A and B are shown apart, each in its own frame.
Chain A
Amino acid sequence: MKFGRSWLPAHVFAWLYAVLLAAPLYYLLVSAFKSNDEIFGSPFSLPTSFSFGNFGEAFGSAHLGQAMVNSGLVTVVALALTLALAIPAAFALARAEGRAGAWVERVFSLGFLVPTFAALFPTFLLAAATGLFHTRAFMVLFLPATAMPLSVVILVQFMRTIPREMEEAARMDGASTFAVLRHVYTPMCLPGIATILLLNFLTFWNEYLYSLVIIGPDPEQRTVQVALPTLKALTGTDYGILTAGTVLTLIPVWVVYTVLQKRMQQALVNGAVKM
């Protein structure tokens, strides 16, 4: 018997923590369908009716609809740019044999140790200097830079596993360097590309502080993570609306996670291991 009696405390603690994790989220979910009175009166009971009034309210008062669109836009364009920069870079580094390649690769590996948050104010100055302050455009340009070290390092690892013979065969058929990149390397490291897409989707969608400072509070421009906390001030203490708004921001991530759970966990583990 592998899980004998000595495992009892382990079972208890693990599930106790799981309950601690799940309880606030359950509370979040059911509160989204309740009024304040119901939330305080019976915080854990199931909602009496599944009306979407709170969601509509949250959508309206914080312009969450526009904010979702903005977040989606920033995330998708930034992801595309990340791939456009990282794939050629990884391709070059994986095949490079000179000292320059090793040097560039080291720069990217050290990038892990540079915490993104450290340079908030200078980045703000950069946004102001480029005239892109209070626009989504700056975030679209900036986010890929934060993702570069991880993305390049992961992709280089994938591309190194591709046998040279593949490229030579393509070259014999007269393929150019770009054709080799497009038709040999990119298709063969699709799992790596999926990994960095998933990882960066999470960080881009969830990014808060830079979006707050750089995009600012303009409802036409701001992302959903910036819009969400304004519900706290806007609605006073209407927890129903606050929690409904929170649930809304979680939906895209939740859907992706539930569909791609295995791959996403693997992606995050890769992200940590490759450091």
Chain B
Amino acid sequence: MTMLSSAQDGASVRRPSPPSPPPVAGPRRKQGGVILAVPALVWYLVFMVGPLVAIFVIAALHWPGMLQPISYAGLDNVRAVVDDPVFWESVRNTAVQLVLALPVMIVGAYMLGYYVAQNPPGHRVLRYLLFIPGLVSTPAKAMVFYAVLSPDGLVNGALDTVGLSSLTDAWLASPSTALLCLVLLDVWSGIGFTAVLFAARLGSVPAEVGEAAQLDGAGHWRAMWRIHFPVIRDFVGVVTMLQFLWTLFGSAQNVLLLTQGGPGSSSTTLSFLVYQKAFIAADLGYSQTVGVVLFLVGLVGLLTIRRVFRQNY
């Protein structure tokens, strides 16, 4: 019985004060019950872990709509997904999105964070501005981008003004640029916020590290990549994992708000496909099968990133 009730060893038990310098654990073992953690744990299991497990169950069902009869499908859904060209297009789109957005975001944010951490003139203003994308909700960001990129929006207006009308485009509605716009939105909002995280972490690196580098005559570039980067390498890994997850899973929202996956399926990402098949096409087994794929991609991605950024000193 490791679950001790915290309440029962409460007021009634007056413990004599333990004999001088108490070791960290040991004599007062009985104090630590975990019963108070049970509500939070149950809450978490019911609302988070339960639905997560359900993905795998639903993926094995044939379920053509909320009110339709459900039958066991085995691997039929997997076959349907693998045979569907739209699935492969969304795999490609997600890959493009990750490959373009993540490196640009992380490298850009690291360099920017390093710059800000040196406290250059105006760094306070800069810190304030950089953080703003972290505050703005996804729909609000999408509305800003919509106003900027729509056919009569800011970008086209600017192109017209400088006499480059030939370059104007319906950016969000053109197959060649829709996905790119989504990547741009990720990068635009991701760099600033991530840079603030890096700047804060770099700020807690002992100043001697930088001074030693200067004494050795290391240039800024060298100091940035060869000296500071290894010190916060694991932190960079954690932030990369977060951004990876946000990009992989969060893209559904931007796609839904800006392009609806189109034109055609040129901007359909995996996470949007999950949403679209569940709530628009009502093909629930298919949707959750893609959900399983998404989950596995996420898991493999996380493990890979962790391995790449493992602290190696």
**In this assembly, does B262 line the interface, its C-beta being within 8 Å of a C-beta of chain A?**
no
Query: From residue 107 to 129 of chain A, which have CB atoms closer than 8 A to chain B?
Result: 107-108, 111, 113-126
Interface string of B1-34 (1 = CB under 8 A from A): 0111011011100110110001001001101111
B37 touches A101 (CB 8 A): yes
Query: Is there contact, CB below 8 Å, between A89 and B121?
Result: no
Interface residues in A76-133 by Cβ distance below 8 A to B read: 85-86, 88-93, 95-101, 104, 107-108, 111, 113-126
Chain A residues within an 8 Å CB radius of B284: 121
Count residues of B near A (Cβ-Cβ below 8 Å).
112
Q: Please tell me if the beta carbons of B137 and A269 are within 8 angstroms of each other in the complex.
A: no
Interface with A: B71-79, B81-89, B90-98, B145-153, which one? B145-153
Of the candidate stretches A15-23, A49-57, A188-196, the one touching chain B is A15-23
Give every chain B residue within 8 A of A174 (Cβ-Cβ): 11, 14
Question: Are B157 and A40 in contact, with the CB atoms below 8 A?
Answer: yes
- Give the residue name and chain of the A residue nearest to B119 (CB): A2
Asked whether any CB of chain A lies closer than 8 Å to the CB of B239, the reply is yes
Q: Which of B39, B51, B147, B242 makes the CB contact (< 8 A) with A119?
A: B51
A27 in contact with B34 (CB, 8 Å): no
Q: Are B152 and A261 in contact (CB under 8 A)?
A: no
A259 CB within 8 Å of chain B = no
Complex Cα distance, B140 from A174, in Å, reads 53
Contact A20 B188 (CB under 8 A): yes
Contact residues in B for A246 (Cβ distance below 8 Å): 140, 143-144
Q: Interface-forming stretch among B162-170, B175-183, B246-254? A: B246-254
Instruction: Say yes or no: is B275 at the interface (Cβ < 8 Å to chain A).
Output: yes
Residues in B whose Cβ lies below 8 Å from that of A142: 47
Query: Is the pair B138, A206 in contact by a Cβ cutoff of 8 Å?
Result: yes
A175 at the interface (CB under 8 A from B): yes
B143 and A228 within 8 A (CB): yes
Contact between chains at A249 and B32 (CB < 8 Å): no
Cβ contact within 8 Å between A17 and B191: yes
User: Could you tell me the distance between the alpha carbons of A202 and B111 in the complex, rounded to whole angstroms?
Assistant: 26
- In the complex, the answer to whether A148 meets B44 with C-beta atoms within 8 Å is yes
CB-based contact B298/A115 at 8 Å: yes
Contact of B131 among A93, A98, A257 (CB under 8 A): A257
Query: Cβ of B135 < 8 Å from any Cβ of A?
Result: yes
Instruction: List chain A residues, Cβ under 8 A from B122.
Output: 15
A residues with CB within 8 A of B: 2-3, 6-7, 10-11, 13-15, 17-18, 20-22, 24-25, 27-28, 31, 40, 43, 85-86, 88-93, 95-101, 104, 107-108, 111, 113-126, 141-142, 144-146, 148-149, 152, 164, 167-168, 171-172, 174-179, 181, 202, 205-209, 213, 225-226, 228-229, 231-232, 237, 239, 242-243, 245-246, 249-250, 253-254, 257, 261, 264-266, 268-269, 272-273, 275
Contacts A126-B50, A145-B48 aside, 8 further interface pairs with beta carbons under 8 A come to A121-B278, A121-B279, A121-B287, A121-B288, A206-B138, A209-B275, A239-B153, A275-B238
18 A-B pairs within 8 Å (CB atoms) are namely A7-B220, A21-B129, A24-B148, A40-B152, A88-B40, A100-B3, A101-B37, A107-B41, A120-B275, A121-B55, A121-B279, A121-B291, A122-B52, A145-B48, A168-B17, A176-B11, A202-B134, A226-B139
- Interface residues of B, Cβ cutoff 8 Å to A: 2-4, 6-7, 9-11, 14-15, 17-18, 22, 25, 28-29, 31-37, 39-41, 43-44, 46-52, 54-55, 58, 108, 111-112, 115-116, 118, 120-122, 125-140, 142-148, 150, 152-154, 157-158, 188, 191-192, 196-197, 200-201, 219-220, 235, 238-239, 241-242, 245, 248-250, 252-253, 256-257, 271, 274-275, 278-279, 284, 287-288, 291, 294-295, 298-299, 302
